Amino acid sequence: MNIKSKLINNELTIGSWITIAHPAIAEIMAKAGFDWLTVDLEHSVITIREAEELIRVINLHNIPSLVRLTENDASQIKQVMDAGANGIVVPMVNYKADAEKAVAAVYYPPKGKRGVGLARAQGYGATFNNYRDWLDNEAVIIVQIEHIEAVNNLEEILAVEGIDGYIIGPYDLSASMGMPGKLEHPDVIEAIEKIKTIGTAMNKPGGLHVVEPNTEQLRQSIEKGFKFLAYSLDIRMLDVSCRHGLVRVSGDI
């Protein structure tokens, strides 16, 4: 369950994204064999209360739980970490100061500035000392690189102590370059390659979100050397499976 060591060793991990709040979704996906699962608060209607339930289900299946935040907000970071998340995925980290802010919100003093409270993560107070040690050694912080400013400042961002890896947001990146959705544009491809080159040089694992459940695209991403890969998400897997089944049946009639 220790995703931190896999990131440090630059090992390949494949996870997925949860946007539907029902615990059964988390249970099904946790049993599927992913290395980690991310509860998405940025592009879903999942509440903090529902997020805690999803985190609990994921962790009970011995799978690391990450939470993609709505924004780089210290209060929300404190809530999801207290709920028992193994780490966070921070959107729109464009500057060194953004990365430093996220790290400070995850860790207790003197490493950070997070307020100390007793909740699920600390065993409701019974295992605070164990949690404090776990936090220092195993908490995970992934930054999303999804703006051209982040690309320009990437070395400073990844050099911040406490940043464990990165994930590229290609759609927002292309939009920040004035060409939203044009992922095959040479400038967008060049920017993504620059991210990967810098990440590799700094020994920081990173990857992409392969949004469609396309195993060939996933394989190609692995061959390109990405180590932290998100394979699709609940709603796309459900939608594609339904449509594929109906197309196959229609073709047989």
Does 61 participate in catalysis according to the annotation?
no
Structural domain boundaries in the chain: 3-252
Percent above pLDDT 70 for the chain: 98
Residues with Cβ within 8 Å of 142's Cβ and at least 6 positions away in sequence, in order, are 66, 87, 88, 89, 90, 163, 164, 165, 166, 167, 228
- Give 179-223 as a DSSP string: -TT-TTSHHHHHHHHHHHHHHHHTT--EEEEE-S--HHHHHHHHH
d(CA 45, CA 230): 20
> Using an 8 Å Cβ cutoff, are 174 and 180 in contact?
yes
pLDDT tens sequence across 41-81:
999 999 999 999 999 999 999 999 999 999 999 999 999 99
Q: Above 70 in pLDDT, residue 91?
A: yes
Give the H/E segment covering residue 4. helix 3-8
Report the top-level CATH class of 3-252. alpha beta
Q: How confident is the model at residue 252 (pLDDT cuts 50, 70, 90)?
A: low
Q: How confident is the model at residue 1 (pLDDT cuts 50, 70, 90)?
A: low
* Catalytic-labelled residue, pool 43, 147, 185, 209: 43
Q: How many CA atoms within 13 Å lie on the side-chain side of 146?
A: 20
Q: Above 90 in pLDDT, residue 245?
A: no
pLDDT tens sequence across 170-202:
889 999 999 998 989 999 999 999 999 999 999
SS3 113: coil
